[in-house]
Structure 1
Amino acid sequence: MVQPNIRIYPLAYLTEDSYSQWEEHIHDLAKKSKTDIKFNFVDQCFEIKGRSQQACDEASKRIITLLLPALNRVVDENKFVGTFEDLDSLSKSARPSPTNSTFRSPSSRTPPMVGRPLNPEEVDKKHAIKKGGGTNENNEREAYFTYETESDEPEDSDEEFMETFTFAKNIQNPKEILTGPPSNNSKPPDYLRIIGNDTETECSLHGRDVKIVGTCQRSIKEAADRFRNLQTIFKRRKRPTNVVPCVHYPTESPRFGIYFCSLDRYAQQAYVATPALTSPVYVMLPVFKDKHGNEQKPKDLLPAVQNQPPPQWVSQQQHQQRQPDLSLDERMRLASLEHRKGYGNENAGMAPDQNTLWGENKPYVVRQSASKPVPSPKPTAAPVQKTPQEDFPSLMSTPRPHVKKPQQNTRRVMRFIPQKSARSPSANISNAEIIREYNLQNIKSSLQDGLEGVRGFKGDIKFGAKLGKVLWGNMTAETQKKIWDFHDIRDIVVKERGVVPLFNGVTTKSEDVINQMSDLLPEAYGRSAYFEMYADARNQPSVPYEPVVMYMSQGVVELKKIVTKTNKVTEIDWVSLDRKFDFQMLLKTEELTRTDVKPYNTFIKKVAVCPNTRLITFENVPDFLNVRSILLKQTTKYRIHFPFVVEITRVEKLPLVKQKLSSFGIDKIQGETGKGQVWYDLDVFYSAHDEIFKANNDLPVGKLASWSVQDIIGKEEDAAVAIVEYIRCLLTLVEMCEGAVA
């Protein structure tokens, strides 16, 4: 122990009698804070000793906030009573002078009872007696009270243990791990202090090491495990979204290839709800071979339209690229030349080594050019450079031996693509079974890694699926015109060539289509409506705005939750070939904040909703909260076979109209329902996951949730694995919707 770190002088005067009623509480406080707290009756102050200043500060804070207000109740408003020792207590403490008595009782020969000795073994040796010993020695031995006393209660050992946790080498700044994200509009939490208080240890950072000091080895081990979990959570949080593309053909079929068809030439384009496109997107189509081994034309591939105008995004990009470089006259001249060159020529703009297939203008297979390649010139030997004649030639000597220049060995570099290939086809295993096992292996490995990463996340965890269409972007011409095998999509097309799967996120924009899909489901068991408000918020004018999503029920003007950040962990894009709908399974996390803090409680006070028309009126909080858009979602829930629940949601983006009330100087904004863009979503949830993920809402810092990965995806020995049943339910729903909207 060190010298007293803190002294606290109370206003009230404490005697030994008045202090005794608080002594037990002070002892418990000292035990919890790992400090030594005593009261000095002479100086009338609390003396706090501890191993660290942090522990002393925690103890002093509790004494000031809890004990001193209770002690100040005995002090009157004039500060006369209770601030010094009163006369009554002085008179009671006065004792009469002792009188000497010459009478001695015979029973006084019995030795007085004394306390337990410090070392009972030495006393036993000193007072050891033989059998049948004297009575006086027995009385002297029995005078020591050797039974259990209050001092025999188990106390914390004074022995201290220390363990050091070292961060990994790939962690550049350990303080980023030990400082959590700001929550509840407060400063970022200090994980060193929080873990130290939870485990009753003292944790301090020294460079890349965290020193953990405590009196219990179990607490030290728990603190070290928490820091290790924090490091794992931090490293997994930096990873990008794990995208798993899966290809599936619904019926038994021979081996097929995959062709990326432009969305403009997709026969089922009317069923694809696409957002505002800034680049070309493509759709997967299966390509089968005929009996002669030639690729057949996909049935959903439309024939190319001659002299078809380019898409709008192409003309905009060409206009933006050419305008700053060329003058007006040059652009007009180039346009005239292009018109003359392409007029009446069906293959204008086509490369000479690209031949058409299926009688179309747009090729997708590269073939060898029919023209004879121009031979490259042979390299000639470099002329010998003549050295200038020396003014003073040297004497004749033996000719210098000719040294042949060593040949450079050409190195051969081989690249092995780390892909998980499917099982080699055999006579007993069908092509559908090979694809099924390949997809399941990729899904399980990705979900296991993602679920392990979110076990230590504090907040909402969502795992669900949505019907829509998987599109493909960032496609090069070389990738688009080639026919691929299904096991090359993830490892070569996506990872190596950079093609990005884009899920449109919308099931349909047609009310008739969603009605036909809802007719396939049983009777609905629940309906709800709520607003999703996307805004930029901050709690101080000096900090930048951050995007937030506020959820408010339609019937009650009250914020249900506020999401400050959403992170997509694992994304499974499942393509059902020759079907109008695909689906996406998404594992994501949501960081939440409190709803009763500023500026959110200020904003909700200025929100009004009409119960009949569902019109919403609100005001922005100047310099603190600005609403960008509002979505009105009306959800209908259907319970199919347990534990799957289908939710059909009608989404409407409300147009925001400003209403200037000049007479009051108030800027009101009104969201008008029934006048915005509408689309529909169909989601499928595994209802048993909701209760499992609730454990992460109140998760302590550095702790892992009690659930395991097997609780989500199922165990291998189970006949009906949870993830397999989930995918089977989605595929059944896709087939039902295909027949309903055909």
Structure 2
Amino acid sequence: MKHNLTIFSAAYINETTFNSFKSFLSELEEKTNTKITFDFNDQHQAIDDNYMKGTYEDVSMFNKDMEYVLPESSKPKAFFLSKRIEEEEDDDGDEEEQEEEVDDDEDDDEEEDRFEDKELTIERLKISKLINNPMDLLLGPPQHNMQNAEYLNLISDLTNTQCRLEGREIVIEGYNKDLVQEALERFEIIQKTFIGCYLKRMVVPCIHYPRESDPYKLYFCPMNTYKYQSLIDLRRLSSCEETYVALPVFFNQEKQEHDPPKDMIRLNPKQKRQYQSPKQSINRSSKTPSSPCLEIRHNHWGLDRDFKNVYHNSQSQQYITAEKLAEAFSKPQTVQSPLQEKENSLLLQDFPVLVNPAQDTNQRQGIIRLDKYQPSLSNKKQSRGRVIRIIPQKSASSIGYQMKSCLLQKVKDYNFHNIKRALEAGLEASRGHKGEVMLSAKIGKLLWFNEKKQDLQKLWDPFDVKDIIVGELGVRPCFNDITTSDNAIINEISHIVPSPCKRQVFYEFHISARNQRKSDYKDMLLYMKEGIVDASKIVYSEKVVTEIDWASLDRKLDFQMTLKIRDLVRKDAKPFTTFVKYISINPVTRALMFEDIPQFLHVQYILKKESMQHKTNNFIIEITRVEKLHIREAPMNRYHDNRKQLMAEASDDCWFEIEVFDSQHQRHFDLNLELEHGKAASWTPNDILGGEACPSLTHFVRCILLIIEKSEEKINLAIYLAAFLALFGFIVFILLFGENPNLLDLSIAHYVKLVWIYRGMIIEWGLDKAYMLDSNGNKVPVSFHKAFLYVLQHDRIIGSIGILGMVVSIVVFVFFIYQVYLAARGITTNEAFKWEMVEDAIDRGELYKSDGGQYKTYYSQSEAKGKRIESLEEVENIYDEGFLTNLHQVFFPPKF
């Protein structure tokens, strides 16, 4: 009788202990017709070898190491085998014993015989070379037991096959061909998702000029010379060094050079054309090749791209270079006009060695047409080792016109192609992700971080940003998702969107947590609603699959579209449940009390977010006020020695963010939350983008650009209004108080005296050294404002006079502004009422202009003679000479 079961003892058993209950084992052997033995030497070896994996969840691991304990056994009853099992002939005695077994064993034998007739199917999946460590692919995010998913075991259990890793191949074995094929497809989806989502994000920079324009170049302006730097919240940047803003630069036909960017502060105006493309030297013997954008040697391009002879005696060989080909199409002694030179530069713009139109006239060489001059090659010049590309021959003037008329559409098509290709690849990879999938866009400012400190002080073509600036030079787009920190600006922007349809307030805990001491800490996000002290969602990790960085030139706002995936974990597991248990919120002060879980959970910082959702069509515009709470020790810690509570309270560190997303995407992305491992969601990239023409993507980008354009108007209006009020206040101050200082003394002195009187009373009463108890029971010094109010309650006469003076000052100031407005229009207060009567007459259709130029009022149509006045603009005010002239005549009246 062959044994088929091994039991591992919980404690160490020696021979004496075994003999004490050997009699009971003998009785059990007689009843069950079996033989029971015990191995004293290697009784714990199998458990010790697998102490990191455990013995409760999966006991199949003992089968591979049983040779030293168990003799060769018969065929197991599993549906999958690691190798073909050799057939053994059963003797007559064994057949008789099998006939005497119970009915359950006979059913198992029939099932086993059914699988013996099938052939073993083996499939192999080769792991991609893009994956350095295969274990990174086979180890997934935490599951319900808070342990990372092991795809080899999970797929084996789900498909009833056996999967193992051999080198860089995943071997799948089983007797059911369909199940083996299903397991193979699951691993293919897992690999595609891992490569597309977890290895490297796809970054697509896009340059967009919002209106039709002449051809332009790009200049990367340093942050410290950007005119609107004050509008950018740079709190998340450690330093502004090597941070740039892309600005457009246009060519001036009159000056024959590029104008400086209008949004750049020129620190040294005397230094001319430092922003221009580097001049091309006409010295043909120069060994260093020059480019309109970047100086790179040919051996750094990855291939040897010169025309040199690589054979022996190459020094004596003569060869053709790009410089000589360009010289063959030029007439050295002919100097062209600026217009003709510009047309030819557009025609031959792909020749990298041609002279830039911005160069000095004494360095220009005439470029002639191919139909007038025959090419002539000369071997007297030294090679420059450049590669040229000759474009088809066309009329220079027609090319210039086409470039001017279709440049905007050309840039749109280029951006659309790049965005579509990147999103299709990212969405296809995200289909197999089990968790959250989000496609949204944030409005902020796109900056460029020169991490490798390359030379960017040149002019660049807009189509070179993706491949050269980002791809080769390593300049990284750095998007600042803080729209603004100014309440006035965000209020103006909120007026361009519809009324809010939903409001929500929640806390975002940025924590470092782990559920086992031997594990490493992991940065996570814990979300909690304001009114419910419970974790609503816990984000284990967040990955950006596709990133679209859109720079709107000549605009103060840009946007970034991102396709992100999130891994979620259970919120009812430790240490999260323990952490939530110690959270409390003061209903009066809104102060948040919490505790860190020693060795398991630590809070880094807390963000309080209050979002307002505005819906237009199927797009949701979410304006969020983000406040970073101030964390300090709770005052009640002095009463508890063994507990350390922390308190998060309101602070002035807040900003605003704007995010736009399509509500129709959510019903597709929700399918990923319930996916099985290795399965892909039923939606496709066309369902998200809208088909081949991508109408959904086009409308999405158009909605974002519309918000940016309208926000630009609001921001400019706020800037102009602030500048006008500052200038107007300065002029009024000079005019009123410049020649009459006593007037300034009368208006301000009383308020200053009142403040000084109250300050003396505060010092006399000792309120400057007084303390008060706050809502938490802490002693805090009394502020000057509270002491001022306290004195005001006790000395009401002086306080009442001060309040009256303040109110009267406001009324007088408003009246003064109204009088200045009337004076600027060239009318008086009495005339203002008369002009209102004239306007009412025009609205009633009773005012006509006679042939003699006089204005008369007729109360009936039959009496009317002359032309009817349709608007007030047709009536001339002879006293109105303009805004500034009217004010000048009021403050500086003419002498008669």
Name the TM-score class by shorter chain.
0.5 to 0.7
* Counterpart check, 1:737 vs 2:711: yes
SS at match of 1:50: coil
**Cα offset, 1:210, TM superposition:** 3.6
Q: Deviations over 1:16-56 (max 9, x none)?
A: xxxxxxxxxxxxxxxxxx9xxxxxxxxxxxx9973449999
Residue pairs, 1:157-556, within 5 angstroms: 158-168=117-127, 170=129, 171-184=131-144, 186-275=146-235, 276-278=237-239, 279-292=241-254, 293-304=256-267, 356-357=272-273, 363=275, 365-367=277-279, 406-407=313-314, 427=402, 430-474=406-450, 479-556=455-532
**Cα offset, 1:267, TM superposition:** 2.0
CA contact (8 A) 2:196 2:425 kept: no
* Counterpart check, 1:50 vs 2:27: no
- With over 3 angstroms needed to count, the CA separation of the structure-2 counterparts of 1:475 and 1:305, relative to structure 1, is farther
Q: Deviations over 1:512-558 (max 9, x none)?
A: 10010111111111100000111111112222211111111111001
Distance 1:591 1:556 in 2: 23
Q: Which moves more between the two structures, 476-485 or 284-293? A: 476-485
State which of 608, 612, 616 in structure 2 corresponds to 1:640: 616
* Partner residue, 2:572: 596
- With over 3 angstroms needed to count, the CA separation of the structure-2 counterparts of 1:53 and 1:602, relative to structure 1, is farther
Distance 2:438 2:175 in 1: 40
**Cα offset, 1:277, TM superposition:** 3.5
- With over 3 angstroms needed to count, the CA separation of the structure-2 counterparts of 1:478 and 1:651, relative to structure 1, is closer
CA contact (8 A) 2:81 2:173 kept: no
**Cα offset, 1:723, TM superposition:** 0.6
Give the AA of the match of 2:647.
Answer: Q
Distance 2:572 2:385 in 1: 62
- With over 3 angstroms needed to count, the CA separation of the structure-2 counterparts of 1:192 and 1:679, relative to structure 1, is same
More helix by share: 2
**Cα offset, 1:664, TM superposition:** 2.0
Q: Deviations over 1:361-402 (max 9, x none)?
A: x6554347999x9999xxxxxxxxxxxxxxxxxxxxxxxxxx
* Partner residue, 2:735: none
Distance 1:730 1:425 in 2: 31
**Cα offset, 1:587, TM superposition:** 1.0
**Cα offset, 1:298, TM superposition:** 2.1
* Counterpart check, 1:672 vs 2:588: no
* Counterpart check, 1:727 vs 2:701: yes
Q: Which runs of 5+ in 2 are unaligned?
A: 8-24, 32-59, 61-72, 83-109, 289-311, 320-383, 390-398, 717-896
Give the AA of the match of 1:730.
Answer: I
Distance 1:178 1:370 in 2: 60
- With over 3 angstroms needed to count, the CA separation of the structure-2 counterparts of 1:168 and 1:624, relative to structure 1, is closer
CA contact (8 A) 1:563 1:592 kept: yes
Distance 1:363 1:202 in 2: 65
SS at match of 2:537: strand
CA contact (8 A) 1:713 1:723 kept: yes
Residue pairs, 1:78-97, within 5 angstroms: none
SS at match of 1:431: helix
- With over 3 angstroms needed to count, the CA separation of the structure-2 counterparts of 1:263 and 1:240, relative to structure 1, is same
* Counterpart check, 1:626 vs 2:626: no
Residue pairs, 1:144-155, within 5 angstroms: none
* Partner residue, 1:663: 639
CA contact (8 A) 1:201 1:213 kept: yes
SS at match of 1:704: coil
- With over 3 angstroms needed to count, the CA separation of the structure-2 counterparts of 1:374 and 1:504, relative to structure 1, is closer
**Cα offset, 1:494, TM superposition:** 0.9
The share of aligned pairs that are identical, in percent, is 35
Distance 1:414 1:374 in 2: 12
SS at match of 2:251: coil
Give the AA of the match of 1:277.
Answer: S
Q: Which moves more between the two structures, 454-463 or 649-658? A: 454-463
**Cα offset, 1:493, TM superposition:** 0.9
SS at match of 1:246: strand
**Cα offset, 1:467, TM superposition:** 0.8
Could you state the TM-score of these two structures normalised by the residue count of structure 1?
0.65
Distance 1:168 1:53 in 2: 26
Q: Which moves more between the two structures, 237-246 or 472-481? A: 472-481
**Cα offset, 1:739, TM superposition:** 1.2
Residue pairs, 1:681-696, within 5 angstroms: 681-696=657-672
Distance 2:411 2:469 in 1: 17
Q: Which moves more between the two structures, 273-282 or 539-548? A: 273-282
SS at match of 2:493: helix
Distance 2:401 2:282 in 1: 38
State which of 683, 690, 699 in structure 2 corresponds to 1:714: 690
Distance 1:568 1:711 in 2: 20
Give the AA of the match of 2:527.
Answer: Y
- With over 3 angstroms needed to count, the CA separation of the structure-2 counterparts of 1:290 and 1:689, relative to structure 1, is same
Distance 1:408 1:51 in 2: 79
Distance 1:159 1:369 in 2: 79
Distance 1:685 1:465 in 2: 6
Give the AA of the match of 2:278.
Answer: V
SS at match of 2:227: coil
Q: Which moves more between the two structures, 256-265 or 408-417? A: 408-417
Q: Which moves more between the two structures, 703-712 or 162-171? A: 162-171
Distance 1:274 1:608 in 2: 33
CA contact (8 A) 2:505 2:610 kept: yes
SS at match of 2:199: coil
Distance 2:287 2:544 in 1: 53
Distance 2:128 2:167 in 1: 12
**Cα offset, 1:445, TM superposition:** 0.8
Distance 2:316 2:422 in 1: 43
**Cα offset, 1:173, TM superposition:** 4.4
SS at match of 1:252: coil
CA contact (8 A) 2:79 2:115 kept: no
- With over 3 angstroms needed to count, the CA separation of the structure-2 counterparts of 1:520 and 1:168, relative to structure 1, is same
Distance 1:552 1:637 in 2: 19
SS at match of 1:741: helix
Distance 1:480 1:176 in 2: 38
Distance 1:375 1:237 in 2: 45
- With over 3 angstroms needed to count, the CA separation of the structure-2 counterparts of 1:569 and 1:172, relative to structure 1, is closer
- How many residue pairs match? The answer is 524
- With over 3 angstroms needed to count, the CA separation of the structure-2 counterparts of 1:3 and 1:501, relative to structure 1, is farther
Q: Which moves more between the two structures, 216-225 or 497-506? A: 216-225
- With over 3 angstroms needed to count, the CA separation of the structure-2 counterparts of 1:491 and 1:208, relative to structure 1, is closer
Give the AA of the match of 2:640.
Answer: F
Superposition CA RMSD, Å: 3.7
Distance 2:592 2:557 in 1: 34
CA contact (8 A) 1:285 1:577 kept: yes
- With over 3 angstroms needed to count, the CA separation of the structure-2 counterparts of 1:490 and 1:670, relative to structure 1, is same
Could you state the TM-score of these two structures normalised by the residue count of structure 2?
0.54
Q: Which moves more between the two structures, 291-300 or 490-499? A: 291-300
